[in-house]
Amino acid sequence: MGSVVEMTGVVKRFGAVTALDGLDFEVAAGEVHGFLGPNGSGKSTTLRLLLGLLRASAGSIRVLGLDPWREVATLHRRLAYVPGDVALWPNLTGGEVIDLLGRLQGGQDRARRGRLLELFELDPTKKSRTYSKGNRQKVALVAALATDAELFLLDEPTSGLDPLMEDAFRGCVRELRAQGRTVVLSSHILSEAEALSDRVSIIRAGKVVETGPLEQLRHLTRTSVTADVAAVPPGLELLPGVHDVVVTDHRVSAQVEPAGLTHLMQALMTAGLTSLTSQPPTLEDLFLRHYGDIAAGVPAAAIGTAPGGPGSPGRGGRQAGDA
Amino acid sequence: MPETLAGTGVLIRLGLRRDRWLLPVWILGFALIAYSTALAGAELYPDTASRVEASTVLNATASMVALFGRIYDPASIGALSLIKYTAFMTAILAILMVILAIRHTRSDEETGRLELLGGGRLGRDAPLAAALIISLGANVVLGLLSAAALAAGGLPAVGSLAFGLGWAATGMAFSAAAGLAAQLTASSRAATGFSISFVAVTYALRAVGDLAEPGPSVLSWLSPIGWNQQIRAFAGDRWWVLVLPTALCLVLVPAAFVLRARRDLGAGLRPERPGPAAGSLAGVWDLAVRLQYRVLLAWVVAFVVFGVVIGTLASNVAELLASPNAQDLIKLMGGQQALTDAFLAAEISIMGVLAAAYGVSSANHLRSEEAAGHTEAVLGTAATRVRWASSHFVFALAGVASLLLLAGVSIGAGAAAAVSDPAVVGRSTVAALAQVPAAWVVTSVALAVFGWAPRLAGAVWGLLLALVALGEFGVLWNAPEWLMDLSPFRHSPLLPVGAADMPALVALTMAAAGLAALGYSGWRRRDLAA
């Protein structure tokens, strides 16, 4: 199985604004791929390009081996899309919208449609006008998930869903993966991508800055270690790869790079270790590293869609010691 | 200020910001039309004798009375010049005021924008109050500016003021009616449809009332548009009639606020009923039909009723044409000589313009669907751009053609009954169908604009108005030939009087096809715009 999505050097300009600035993005067949980035980083623009709703200013795009701009109908028969901002016809019922979208898609599985309605506790007889944001989202999700698509492009699919429904949605995605379908899941909710994704790509100011399995990306960040010891040994902060050491009485906490773990553990064991908690880096940490600018006080407006936005001053320094 | 009105000032500023183009264009448009009409009237009827003759003919012609009303002082140049404006133009003003009021009340509520604002310090009644205050301001400015324009055009100042205040008060009565309608239904389309039907009914009431001999019957006094005529500007200036629209506002506005207090934000008076759990819409074509057929049905009813009414008035035309002055008048209406047929030709050309207006409103669904984000959902499926765009565009073309077909048949049926000549039906139907290509050209302009400059979709209305104004006043304004030739309506053969100019019809159809192709090519290569 090759790549389902291949984007190389894709540039998308809207007038003077460059939304995507040489974006490379690749999704392998059969994986659930998390597409992460904050608001305005170009996630929705990327997905719309994959659908042929927008036309790339430069670069090449292949989806399921097809050109989404030229072979749109053939392509769309094989994929399903949930827009980030679900707008429904106010005077059609949810059921009517689901069936319409399903038929336009080229057919949906009636049994699965029924199951999904039950799973998401959606009343299909209500006029779309009366649906809440979460319920509108469910309409789009049911319409997409009830089809037999090979590729699912889901733009922030859980926005507006409550935690129970989010859980139901995760079940659906796992089912899709078990059936060998490919899912691209854009999100700024890290726990969602973390729970579902085989691989993630992080987009920032119109470029994919990091791609890989979560485990691999985690190597790039530090583990948070907290330990109780009989006597705190001196000079812990001097160990290579150990940062932010805080000592209170018998408790030590520190941020540790993968390369520094061995040194720290050796030092702690000789100091009479009584308790140890270690937390793997979360996607939050990954994210913070790429958007460190925000934490560092750079106004958020300067990031977003701004072409070639500010660099990431947090990167180089904190990454010292990477293999 | 009561709590429920908190934030009204902010909403007024927001509304004026949103309408910073719309309102000036409308207001200046009305004032300009008033001004040019005042000038043109003085030129057309230089002396009292010509005025009296024209007025007498108009008053004796039932079709004119039904369409425009009566002239209550045959010697008055103002009353004669503005014959089309006390009822017909007032109805258009009423429709614009309906659109304005719904835009700031129910539309904002349906899209959830008011909910967004409602989180702030915003009273329950503020949106309605702001919409009505903006409407009041627009009506007053429009009325006073038009009065000034009429006076500047050479008409008596007092009559001009009476006329302008008539527009202001009548416009406001319909603003208030729309404000009330906005409280009734959860859908802004339904509220608009309801209000425009009210305009149509009041227009028809006064048409029937005005036809009664010798003067207006009680039916005219039941209609706000009838009141506007009974002010009799330039023909007595009966100021007290202004009390009637004012009183209507004083009833409708409090009623609207009472209804608002009885319902939830976003809800109509009736709770939303559940609909089908499964849909039967099989594709983009079904969707376009579903989204558009109600509006088309309303147009069909209006066209058929209007057609039968003006058709039955054809019998009065013989009388009208006896006078040489009346022949000039008929020429002004766009017709040529020849009894009934001239009248039919003039009326049918009006139907052609109205059908084009339907074509624009229908084709502009493309833009409204795209702007609402619905198109993204549709194009995310296997539906192609061309197929989706065609669904609304073909509906628009077919709607235009069926409206004109029905107009021809119903005008012909009315005329056939009136003059006992069944053959009229065939002639009038062919004549109406000959208007189809010109109306298609305008419809295709809407597609071309959608394809290349979707944000300018609203400007197509401006274009249509400009074409109508050019046809109406082009000669008076000394507009250059080439400019007037740009109007497709100018190339439509005026059947059943003139010859069936087949080359012109073919050329118009080709122009429509060319514009449509242009529109498709733009739509196929542009980004989906939000």
Q: Which residues of A touch B529 (CB under 8 A)?
A: none
How distant is the Cα of B282 from the closest Cα of chain A, in angstroms? 6
Cβ-contact A12, A20 below 8 angstroms? yes
DSSP for A88-148? --TTSBHHHHHHHHHHHHT-B-HHHHHHHHHHTT--TTSBGGG--HHHHHHHHHHHHHTB-
Whether A104 and B525 lie within 8 Å, measured CB to CB: no
- Over residues A132-143, the pLDDT tens digits come to 889 999 999 999
**Which among B378, B526, B527 has CB closest to A104?**
B378
Whether A83 and B377 lie within 8 Å, measured CB to CB: yes
> Which residues, including other chains, have CB under 8 Å from residue B79's CB and lie 6 or more apart?
B55, B71, B72, B73, B232, B233, B234, B235
At residue A284, the pLDDT reads 67
Cα torsion angle, B10, B16, B19, B21, sign: negative
- Over residues A45-60, the pLDDT tens digits come to 999 999 988 999 999 9
For chain A, the C-alpha Rg in angstroms (whole number) is 23
Cα torsion angle, B70, B73, B76, B78, sign: negative
Q: Which residues of A touch B528 (CB under 8 A)?
A: 48, 53-54
Tokens for A135?
A: 């319920």
Whole-angstrom distance, CA of residue B228 vs CA of residue A118: 59
Whether B277 and A124 lie within 8 Å, measured CB to CB: yes
Nearest to B409 by CA among B428, B423, B422: B428
Tokens for A191?
A: 């726990």
Q: Is the pLDDT of residue B331 over 60?
A: no
At residue B334, the pLDDT reads 46
CB atoms within 10 A of CB A60: 11
At residue B332, the pLDDT reads 55
SS (H, E, C) B81-96: HCCCCCCHHHHHHHHH
Which of A14, A20, A74, A91 to probe the B interface (max B CBs under 10 A)? A91
User: Given pLDDT bands bounded at 50, 70 and 90, which one contains residue B360?
Assistant: very high
Q: Is the pLDDT of residue B484 over 90?
A: no
Task: Give the chain A residue nearest B528 (alpha carbons).
Answer: A53
At residue B325, the pLDDT reads 62
- For residue A18, the cross-strand partners are A13
At residue B281, the pLDDT reads 87
Whole-angstrom distance, CA of residue A309 vs CA of residue A313: 12
User: Given pLDDT bands bounded at 50, 70 and 90, which one contains residue B213?
Assistant: confident
Q: Is the pLDDT of residue A322 over 60?
A: no
**Which among A86, A88, A93 has CB closest to B276?**
A93
How distant is the Cα of A40 from the closest Cα of chain B, in angstroms? 15
Whole-angstrom distance, CA of residue B29 vs CA of residue B89: 11
Cβ-contact B281, A103 below 8 angstroms? yes
CB atoms within 10 A of CB B221: 15
Q: Does ipTM exceed 0.90?
A: no
Task: Give the chain A residue nearest B378 (alpha carbons).
Answer: A101
How distant is the Cα of A252 from the closest Cα of chain B, in angstroms? 47
Name the burial class of residue B427, with classes exposed (0-12), middle (13-18) and buried (19+) by CB atoms within 10 angstroms of its CB.
Answer: buried
**Which among A52, A101, A126 has CB closest to B377?**
A101
B288 touches chain A (CB under 8 A): no
Whether A96 and B276 lie within 8 Å, measured CB to CB: yes
* pTM for the predicted model, two decimal places: 0.79
User: Given pLDDT bands bounded at 50, 70 and 90, which one contains residue A104?
Assistant: confident
